[in-house]
Amino acid sequence: MPALVLLGAQWGDEGKGKATDLLGGSVDYVVRYQGGNNAGHTVVVGDQKYALHLLPSGILSPECTPVIGNGVVVDPSVLFSELNGLNERGVDTSKLLISGNAHIITPYNVTVDKVTERFLGKRKIGTTGRGIGPTYADKINRVGIRIQDLYDESILTQKVEAALDGKNQLLTKVFNRRAIEVGKVVEELLSYADRLKPYVADTVLVLNRALEDDKVVLFEGGQGTLLDIDHGTYPFVTSSNPTAGGACTGAGVGPTKISRVIGILKAYTTRVGSGPFPTELFDEDGEALRRIGGERGVTTGRDRRCGWFDAVIARYATRVNGLTDFFLTKLDVLTGWEQIPVCVAYEIDGKRVEELPYSQSDFHHAKPVYETLPGWSEDITSAKSFSDLPKNAQNYVKALEEMSGAPISAIGVGPGRDETIEINSFL
């Protein structure tokens, strides 16, 4: 019953694709359990590079069944364009399964996302503008549209009416926009129904049966721990639960079924969008991390904010996810620094604090307390085992492991698929 959860331990963009590559052909099901097309990861197969936003990475392995769970929000037009793009390149996408309970990102959810951000001005969240937050808001307000609603026109019309009643008041009276017509929305949504139909399934049943049959199921989190709606840097977060518990609710699998929780941890820290980030660098080092690490968003093309490794955050990720392992990525990006600062604690109002403060105001005031570790200058991209790494790189990894509270079971030492050191197998 190997059920693994793979999730970002920081603010997303830790390089999950690497871990999926490592698991390779041994996975039977890859499941997305939250988020939508706000995620983005690049997967390299042979000499082909694929940028995926909504589809689980398993879509590229012929032997694997990719699943979009009930906790995901789906923009059908984005789904189809991603599927078309893959089909044009000869990828068979027919095994995809989508939960009938997954919510649909409607055109009005995208409109509301954009106008709300504009309205917030300098207080904006810095969302990806894909309608994610408003779609989850509709879900919680019980006026969401689910995939299964596309197969009952009368129910769909009633639900769109209910959703638009309040929104049109808001759009016309507060945001000074035109009202959205129910009929047009229903027509657009119905146009997706036939093409979606073959993929729609009772994914909860499928996944639980697969686990009973001892299949390997990989739950792939989008975004990262600090962007979690409950456990992240609220309100500068996404609107779902990328943390490990989200895999249970977002896929309908009980916590007793999860055998391993792997946190993807970048050897330094990045974040996109607004919100606090204690180790953020505004100097040449930050610029160098961005340049060498290629820190630009796959989904939005925005430059990522960059900073040194933050062990307080890593410890927090271990705790809230119950991490069993870390996959440390992008260690090669740090090659060439003589000294590498690592944040080991924070100073808040003159006091040293070892753990992430629960108070948002305290976190905003947190100043990093750094320890400096000696760097290395040797190229590490061809290292195949831990002992191939220069002593200082080994010590850097060991120090991070000790501070972060879970074993580092794999290390990414270069962008290539095989540029990974495996220490403990994930299966």
Q: Does 409 bind ligand IMP (CB under 6 A)?
A: no
Q: Does 233 bind ligand IMP (CB under 6 A)?
A: no
How far, in Å, are 75, 242, 315, 363, 365 from residue 360 at the CA level? 32, 20, 18, 5, 9
From the number of C-beta atoms within 10 Å of its C-beta (0-12, 13-18, 19+), residue 187 rates as exposed
Provide the token pair at 229: 């709606």
Q: Is 365 a catalytic residue?
A: no
Q: How far is the CB of 144 from ligand IMP (least distance, A)?
A: 16
Is 40 marked as a binding-site residue?
yes
Enclosing H/E stretch for 273: none
Query: Pick from 132, 206, 218, 320: which binds ligand IMP (CB under 6 A)?
Result: 132
Distance CA 321, CA 323 (A): 5
Catalytic residue among 139, 167, 231, 266: 139
Nearer to ligand IMP, 17 or 412 (CB): 17
**At how many degrees (to 10) do helices 153-169 and 107-120 cross?**
20
Are residues 397 and 405 in contact, defined by beta-carbon separation less than 8 angstroms? no
Map residues 21-40 to x or -, x wherever contact with ligand IMP holds by CB under 6 A. -----------------xxx
Q: Stretches 10-18, 194-202, 305-313, 349-357: which one binds ligand IMP (CB under 6 A)?
A: 10-18
Map residues 261-300 to x or -, x wherever contact with ligand IMP holds by CB under 6 A. -----------xx---------------------------
Q: Does 126 bind ligand IMP (CB under 6 A)?
A: yes
At residue 117, what are phi and psi to the nearest 5 degrees? -60, -40
- Beta-sheet pairing, 65-68 with 3-8: unpaired
Q: Is 139 a catalytic residue?
A: yes
Provide the token pair at 5: 């959860």
Sequence-distant (6+) residues with CB within 8 A of 394 are 386, 387
Beta bridge partners of 99: 201
Query: Pick from 7, 13, 50, 318: which binds ligand IMP (CB under 6 A)?
Result: 13
Within 37-76, which residues bind ligand IMP (CB under 6 A)? 38-40
Within 66-125, which residues bind ligand IMP (CB under 6 A)? 125
In angstroms, how far is CA 246 from the centroid of its own chain? 12
Q: Is 53 a catalytic residue?
A: no
Provide the token pair at 190: 């119905």
What b/e string do you get for 118-131 counting C-beta neighbours within 10 Å, with b at 16 or more? eeeeeeebebbbbb
Distance CA 79, CA 31 (A): 15
Q: Does 222 bind ligand IMP (CB under 6 A)?
A: yes
Q: Does 223 bind ligand IMP (CB under 6 A)?
A: yes
How far, in Å, are 118, 227, 309, 322 from residue 230 at the CA level? 24, 9, 23, 15
Nearer to ligand IMP, 2 or 134 (CB): 134
Q: How far is the CB of 198 from ligand IMP (least distance, A)?
A: 28
Nearer to ligand IMP, 127 or 241 (CB): 127
Is 299 marked as a binding-site residue?
yes
Q: How far is the CB of 344 from ligand IMP (least distance, A)?
A: 25
Is 17 marked as a binding-site residue?
yes
Q: Stretches 61-69, 148-156, 236-244, 408-416: which one binds ligand IMP (CB under 6 A)?
A: 236-244
Residue nearest to ligand IMP (CB): 273
Is 203 marked as a binding-site residue?
no
In angstroms, how far is CA 242 from the centroid of its own chain? 7
Mark the binding-site residues, compressed into ranges.
12-18, 38-42, 128, 142, 223, 238, 298-304, 330-332, 412-414
Residues noted as catalytic: 13, 41, 139
Point out which residues bind ligand IMP (CB under 6 A): 11-13, 38-40, 125-128, 130, 132-133, 222-223, 227, 236, 238-239, 272-273
